[in-house]
A and B are shown apart, each in its own frame.
Chain A
């Protein structure tokens, strides 16, 4: 077994026992990236020198007996989370040369915990997309089958974890962008409760929906990462001053009396792939075999989630992306003319088609005369979706559903038609609209050998029960030994 194949928990034990050095581990991961990433394209940039320096500091910490929960652990970070001195591009031409002068709060927390950031992961430009095909810089291939996409928008983070090119990763999730690529790449991905994790230093897409979260090879690894990155931050006024439990310790507690709700609306959803449906049904049977009760619940407004989301998210994006004007940072098209012409040329040449499409939709929905019909209406429907969840959680602790209606699509299969791509987000968007935590845990494979994920969601700040159920399911399903067919 190579060091890069380890989970965070396994590597941590070996590092603590001094049977493996942090430098060896980081070199092993960098070697894996060198061997595979030319083909997969998960990383936009690899910070090898900084990573090795951090690994050596980790080894010194072990010698002093001062190791933290992530000391010496090599991680990938989605390229929209600011890293001081390391380019943060959002996979956009408009930020291609942007080098942040500060670290995001989550990066500070990772460094304090001893983690080694090995590189910045590819994504759909500004996190807008479901396949990573909207990256303005490069494609990312699914490690399980190079003809298929890794999902998106955190496709680079998910592919890097699946291909053992890091031990864990951070992504961001505005409408499913952690859970859906985790599902398509056969790894675990968690979107925390809105406000659980500070977003200071996260490049904003849709501010009432965005949340940073972990991707890992196991539920345990995600629990450990979540404990490190969670917590109130005075620099993010939306972060919530709620105590942070040790999520990993909670995993090993008795499950107790847990009820899982299965929304009737999701099981009759049109366009649900038979392999996905079968895998989710098998997962329900496995969960029931653990002594967990499953019952039907209703989410009557879930069918409107896509429509509400594709008003709210582009509206907020059109406002957030107004800051890219070619003045303070990033790309400028210096083609002459006055200030207004410079703005127009810079933004038209700097943003890709999907980003421009969403800016236009959002600007339209917020423009004079349309605000009430679109943004206000969508925000009212959003309130009804949140109420649906509150009512459903009166009779269950966790809600179970598919993550995506199909396994990972082939390149070009859905990204050419925006509405088709938007509709593929049907199962994941509601959690962002309601602000609740949700995760994806592997639950099987399609007949073509592509991974399928199971989505579990819980009430606000219900991450503990979510992780507990996922952990118990993961042990019972025993899929963790399955690895993509790669020869590094």
Chain B
């Protein structure tokens, strides 16, 4: 486990997360996140050999239910909060150049 994170890694992760960071933000985050990851590295000292990772607090088997049509939002309701739309779709800026 690396203890610190580099500026390049912050930029790469920001790109993966679709965040735009200016140089000042990169500088702030590299320090803060570096210290947080350094603290998190204390986990390394815990012996976890053979321990099954825990994903949920309560063990539930798959929660199946019949696949039947039920109540749902109509088009107008589903589109009501969209920043840009026409009468039946969400509108987005061009995707390919």
Contacts of A377 in B (CB 8 A): 1, 43-44, 46, 48
Is the pair B81, A307 in contact by a Cβ cutoff of 8 Å?
Answer: no
Given the known interface contacts A344-B20, A381-B46, A381-B48, the answer about A208 and B56 at a Cβ–Cβ threshold of 8 Å is yes
Contact of B55 with A208 in the complex, beta carbons under 8 Å: yes
Across the two chains, which residue of chain A brings its CB closest to B54? A383
Which residues 37-70 of B sit at the A interface, judged by CB distance below 8 A? 37, 39-44, 46, 48, 51-58, 60, 63, 65
Give per-residue flags for B74-97: 1 if the beta carbon is below 8 A from chain A beta carbons, else 0. 000110111110000010111101
Q: How large is the interface on A (under 10, 10 to 19, 20 to 34, 35 or more residues)?
A: 35 or more
Q: At the interface, is chain B mostly helix, strand, loop or mixed?
A: loop
Bound CA–CA A379/B57 (angstroms): 11
Listed stretches A288-296, A329-337, A394-402, A475-483; interface member: A329-337
B46 is contacted by which of A301, A334, A343, A422 (Cβ under 8 Å)? A301
Chain B: which residue is nearest A324 at the CB level?
B18
Given A345-B20, A383-B53, answer yes or no on A101-B80 (Cβ-Cβ < 8 Å). Answer: yes
**Residues of chain A with a CB closer than 8 A to B18's CB:** 322, 325, 340, 343-344, 347
Partner of A318, one of B17, B25, B97: B17
In Å, the complex CA distance between A331 and B82 comes to 9
Q: Is the CB of A348 within 8 A of B20?
A: yes
Indicate which residue in A98, A301, A322, A433 contacts B81 across the interface (CB closer than 8 Å): A98
Other-chain residue from A240, A383, A384 in contact with B60 (beta carbon distance below 8 A): A240
User: Is A217 interfacial (CB 8 A cutoff)?
Assistant: no
Within 8 A of A (CB), among B1-59: 1, 5, 9-10, 13-14, 16-21, 25, 29, 32-33, 35-37, 39-44, 46, 48, 51-58
* Minimal beta-carbon separation of B70 from chain A (angstroms): 9
Name B56's contact: one of A238, A327, A337, A376 (CB within 8 Å). A238
Among A97, A307, A363, contact of B13 (Cβ-Cβ < 8 Å) = A363
- Contact: B53 with A193, CB < 8 Å? no
Query: When the two chains form the complex, which single residue of B37, B58, B83, B93 contacts A194, counting CB atoms closer than 8 Å?
Result: B58
Is A364 among interface residues, defined by CB-CB distance under 8 A? yes
Complex Cα distance, B63 from A238, in Å, reads 8
A419 with B35: CB separation less than 8 A: yes
Q: CA A129 – CA B88 in complex, angstroms?
A: 38
Interface residues of A: mostly helix, strand, loop or mixed? helix
In the complex, what residues of A have CB within 8 A of residue B10's CB? 360
Find B39's partner among A340, A380, A419 (CB 8 Å cutoff): A419
Residues of chain B within 8 A of A340, CB atoms compared: 18
Minimum Cβ distance to chain B for residue A296 (Å): 22
- B4 CB to nearest chain A CB (Å): 11
A253 an interface residue at 8 Å Cβ cutoff? Answer: no
Interfacial chain B residues near A195, Cβ < 8 Å:
57-58, 60
Q: How many Å lie between the Cα of A459 and that of B54 in the bound state?
A: 17
Complex Cα distance A304/B47, Å? 12
- Give the shortest distance, in Å, between B56 (CB) and chain A (any CB): 5
Contact between chains at A380 and B54 (CB < 8 Å): yes
Q: Is A473 an interface residue (CB 8 A)?
A: no
Cβ A360 vs Cβ B46 within 8 A: no
Q: What A residues does B1 contact at CB under 8 A?
A: 373-374, 377
B residues sitting closer than 8 Å to A (CB atoms) are 1, 5, 9-10, 13-14, 16-21, 25, 29, 32-33, 35-37, 39-44, 46, 48, 51-58, 60, 63, 65, 73, 77-78, 80-84, 90, 92-95, 97
User: What are some 9 contacts across the A-B interface (CB < 8 A)?
Assistant: A307-B42, A329-B81, A332-B84, A356-B19, A356-B25, A359-B17, A360-B14, A383-B54, A435-B57
